[in-house]
């Protein structure tokens, strides 16, 4: 049975699962910039018809992650350094506000899940293979998603989801090495501590510093 990016089975029909699978692969860096995505090849790999693949590629095009040409497939978008910087500045504003709100709204279960994710990142901080880097990227993405969701703000959740998570975090993790990854996860611990104490100002400042640090690392990795 075909597997999705997270190891689960791909549904035999419908474009939603195909979309989420391809999106996860792009955002993790598994499908890198300028990679060509062919409808027929993807349909065969995922065990679906070409229709859901075509639908998924169109949605990825709308999200700014690929450039889609009907009947020809799509190409993963290559971001410029300036586009990366602007995207992360926007993310810093949105996610820092979300963290500030989450400080008084996050549940114990969500806090516990954040702690689990932080611990799960530790063994892959020294990874030098694509699977390890992709796993680190996925854990990192889930951490940020939980914090935003804990804001209980539909507006912030909508806005952050509309700002594509630039699919170059894996490049930063790979090129910057263990020291950068360890620092990034240490910042996750700072954010978690701020959330546990309910200090909205601390949570907001910690998240802003964390994302702006990621912006600088990615800009440097690509520059």
pLDDT tens string 184-219 = 999 999 999 999 999 999 999 999 999 998 887 765
pLDDT value at 171 more than 80: no
pLDDT band, residue 88 (cuts 50/70/90): confident
Task: State the CB neighbour count (10 A cutoff) for residue 18.
Answer: 28
What are 8-38's pLDDT values in tens digits? 434 444 678 999 899 878 876 778 889 999 9
Find the radius of gyration of the CA atoms of the chain.
18
Q: Where is pLDDT greater, at 6 or 214?
A: 214
Helix, strand or coil, per DSSP, at residue 166: coil
The CATH 1.10.10.10 domain(s) of the chain lie at: 15-76
Q: What is the CATH number of domain 15-76?
A: 1.10.10.10
Structure-token pair, residue 127: 């990874």
pTM above 0.85, yes or no: no
pLDDT at 99: 98
Cα 126 to chain centroid, rounded: 19
CATH T-level topology, domain 81-222? 1.20.120
Best mean pLDDT range from 46-50, 97-101, 163-167: 97-101
Task: With CA atoms as reference, report the closest residue to 218 among 184, 185, 188, 186.
Answer: 184
pLDDT at 12: 40
Instruction: Specify the pLDDT at position 13.
Output: 44
- Chain region(s) in the chain for CATH 1.20.120.530: 81-222
- Which pLDDT score, from 0 to 100, does residue 196 have? 98
Q: What is the mean pLDDT of the chain?
A: 84
Number of other CB atoms surrounding residue 178 within 10 Å = 12
Neighbours of 179 (CB within 10 A): 9
Q: What's the pLDDT at 218?
A: 66
pLDDT tens for residues 66-87? 998 877 789 998 877 787 788 8
Query: How far, in Å, are 41, 42, 169, 221 from residue 165 at the CA level?
Result: 25, 22, 9, 16
């Amino acid at each position: 049975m075909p597997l999705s990016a997270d190891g689960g089975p791909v549904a035999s029909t419908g474009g939603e699962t195909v979309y989420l699978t391809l999106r996860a692969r792009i955002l993790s860096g598994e499908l890198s910039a300028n990679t060509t995505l062919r409808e027929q090849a993807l349909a065969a790999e995922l065990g679906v018809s070409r229709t859901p693949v075509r639908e998924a590629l169109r949605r990825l095009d709308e999200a700014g992650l690929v450039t889609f040409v009907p009947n020809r497939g799509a190409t993963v978008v290559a971001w410029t350094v300036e586009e990366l910087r602007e995207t992360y500045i926007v993310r810093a504003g949105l996610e820092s506000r979300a963290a500030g709100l989450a400080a008084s709204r996050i549940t114990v279960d969500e806090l516990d899940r954040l702690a689990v994710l932080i611990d799960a990142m530790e063994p892959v901080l020294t990874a030098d293979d694509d699977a390890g880097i992709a796993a680190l990227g996925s854990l990192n993405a889930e951490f940020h998603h939980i914090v935003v969701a804990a804001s209980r703000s539909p507006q912030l959740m909508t806005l952050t989801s509309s700002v594509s998570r630039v699919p170059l975090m894996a490049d930063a993790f790979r090129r910057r090495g263990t020291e950068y990854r360890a620092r990034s996860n240490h910042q996750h611990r700072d954010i978690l501590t701020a959330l546990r104490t309910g200090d909205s100002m601390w949570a907001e400042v910690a998240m802003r510093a964390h994302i702006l640090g990621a912006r600088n690392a990615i800009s440097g990795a690509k520059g």
